[in-house]
Amino acid sequence: MRISAALLVAGLSASTGTQAIEVYGIVDMSLGYVKGTDSTTRLDDGRLSASRVGFRGTEEIAPNLKAKFVLESGFSADTGAEFFRNNSLFGRQAYVGLFGGWGELRLGRQFTPAFYSLGKIDAFRFNSFASPILLLSKTSSQGAGYVPYGSRFNNAVGYLSPNFNGVVVRAALAAGETAGSTRSGSGASASIDYDKGPLYAFYAVQRSYSTITAAAPEPYASTHQYAGAAYWFDSVRLGGFVGTSKSDAPATRSARYAGLNLIWKANSQNTLLAEAVRRDVRDTDNQLTSFGLGIDHLLSKRTTLYARLVTIDNPSNGSDNINAIPIAAGSGDSGRSINVGVRHTF
């Protein structure tokens, strides 16, 4: 919703007539049943889209130069608690930037270029709980010193290019801000996307350094690479991706990923989703597979009813989980979850 300067008597104000400030958000709740080693029924937040509230605005400075900001906070609608559980005020995004015909420059906490590409290829839009693509962030059997894929950078400078006939380039650098080491905790990511007509294709790379400690005084880099494509055949989109991850740290192992998905827009109100993702840690028997099924039913422009089914298959002695399915350590148990919920955007 748009908020004029006259309404912002509490402190938000527009200094010129060309400034626009918007408050936006999502509240998403569902009833869930999960079964792994144990089973439970619960009220879950954010199984279609993570609940959030945000502020964003732009100001025109010159004909080809505008300023912008985004401040976005995540929360759990079932309890009202801050989503990241680390007392961050704007844990989802917090940046300021400039943009124009030359592209966009952002400074602050922001999504990585790889995240934007993976979010487009994923049928479930990289949901934080109920998407098989979350296997990309697993660490089991890859060893100490391996830094898993992360969707955001702190202390980052990011650039987004103009759209060149469907081609968009993103890049970001993140400072680790660790005394005595410029690499410790730092990161870099870049992507190139082609999105025009029925075809979407991408390549993305992300590199993150471990944070040094007294026990591990040397920062090691972990590199993640992904490529994929999707194509719309009228109302059906077929997509897939492959990826790798590896670390420079000693006694670590690389992993390979592959995923296939389908989106079917059955009609103006109903969309069906399906996806399968596999993670294979090299030179081990650690092979994870996750399947997801979903349906979205639009009640209105802003309100959606949805259902999600997600499973995870563990190897012998494995205990990875998805959607917070309770799986005992070393049990080798598989798990499944079902959620039925409602999402409202504003």
In this predicted model, what pLDDT tens digit does every residue of 203-213 receive, in sequence order?
A: 999 999 999 99
* 66-103 pLDDT tens trace: 999 999 999 999 999 999 888 899 999 999 999 999 99
* 241-281 pLDDT tens trace: 999 999 999 999 999 999 999 999 999 999 999 999 999 99
Contact between 309 and 292 (Cβ < 8 Å):
yes
Percent of the chain with pLDDT over 70: 95
Q: In whole numbers, what is the pLDDT of the chain averaged over residues? A: 94
Instruction: Please determine, for residue 113, whether its predicted confidence score (pLDDT) is greater than 90.
Output: yes
Query: How much is the pLDDT for 12?
Result: 43
Query: How much is the pLDDT for 89?
Result: 95
Closest CA to 133 of 143, 118, 144: 118
Instruction: Please determine, for residue 164, whether its predicted confidence score (pLDDT) is greater than 60.
Output: yes
Give CATH for domain 2-345. Answer: 2.40.160.10
Domain residue ranges of the chain, discontinuous segments joined by +: 2-345
- Reported as a pLDDT band with limits 50, 70 and 90, residue 10 is very low
Query: How much is the pLDDT for 34?
Result: 98
Contact between 169 and 163 (Cβ < 8 Å):
no
Residue 262's CB is within 10 A of a number of other CB atoms, namely 17
Instruction: Please determine, for residue 11, whether its predicted confidence score (pLDDT) is greater than 60.
Output: no
Query: How much is the pLDDT for 85?
Result: 86
Query: How much is the pLDDT for 16?
Result: 45
- What gap in Å lies between CA 99 and CA 68, rounded to an integer? 8
Query: How much is the pLDDT for 19?
Result: 79
Least confident of 5-9, 178-182, 296-300, 334-338: 5-9
- For the chain, helix, strand, coil in percent to 5 are 5, 55, 40
Query: How much is the pLDDT for 87?
Result: 86
Contact between 105 and 157 (Cβ < 8 Å):
yes
Query: How much is the pLDDT for 20?
Result: 85
Q: Which two tokens stand for residue 13?
A: 């104000």
- Reported as a pLDDT band with limits 50, 70 and 90, residue 18 is low
For the residues 150-165, what does the mean pLDDT come to?
98
Degrees to nearest 5, angle at CA 247 with 241 and 251: 125
Instruction: Please determine, for residue 17, whether its predicted confidence score (pLDDT) is greater than 80.
Output: no
Strand partners, 178: 181
For the residues 62-68, what does the mean pLDDT come to?
96
Q: What is the pTM of this model?
A: 0.92
Instruction: Please determine, for residue 2, whether its predicted confidence score (pLDDT) is greater than 60.
Output: no
Phi, psi of 307 (to 5 degrees): -135, 145
Helix (H) or strand (E) holding 120: helix 113-121
